[in-house]
Amino acid sequence: MADMAQKLDVLEPQLARELEERVSLATRDDTARGLFFNGVLGAVRVLDGEAAVQRCLAVAGEKKYVDFFNYPVEAYLRLAFTAAQVMGPKLGGFDAALRRMGVQATTDFLSSAAGKTLLLLASNSPKRMLGNLHSGYKAAVSYGERGVTWTGDTSGVFSMKRDFMTPAYHEGVLQAVIEAVGGKQVRVSGKKTGPLDAEYTLSWQ
């Protein structure tokens, strides 16, 4: 535990507080698939090498992850925040690194059986994809509520309640989801509306 705390000291105080706030709201029933852990570790390996991967694994508490096993979201939060601190200098900052993780998470999920089904249902329609996205999240994580309110044919507000990842992370997720079904000039802007709640204004062409 002391070793974990020492490794988390690399976070700026504000980021460390946000991490611990999010972790404190998690229960043992809040889980995420191992494929998301592996996506983060793969990105860290490419940018910073094996030593950085081992540092992230030590914080998350496991030696390896199986793609379709469920793991505590607390561990994913610690992994993601540490990895964002590690990769941030090469990607334009902490939030940019989290956004990159969101893109990676989407890429990995859409390659899975559940993701391929979601793509099939969307039929190259960003609006249909976003309308069905809540079911994709249910296949990937055990927590949260999500929905979309349309403001136009190619714009809307996507809301998330009790989701543990940050707005920057989900900006990457939503942008990648829309682009995966043909959306162009995608814009996604998230804002925190509660400890684990956020809204995302999005549009595309």
Q: How confident is the model over 81-124, as pLDDT tens digits?
A: 999 999 999 999 999 999 999 999 999 999 999 999 999 999 99
Which sequence spans correspond to the domains of the chain? 2-95, 110-203
Q: What is the pLDDT of residues 150-186, one digit of tens each?
A: 999 999 999 999 999 999 999 999 999 999 999 999 9
Name every residue whose Cβ is closer than 8 Å to that of residue 171 and which is 6 or more positions away in sequence.
99, 102, 188, 189, 190, 200
For 110-203, CATH gives 3.90.1520.10
Measured distance CA(21)–CA(90) in Å, rounded: 27
DSSP annotation of 141 reads B
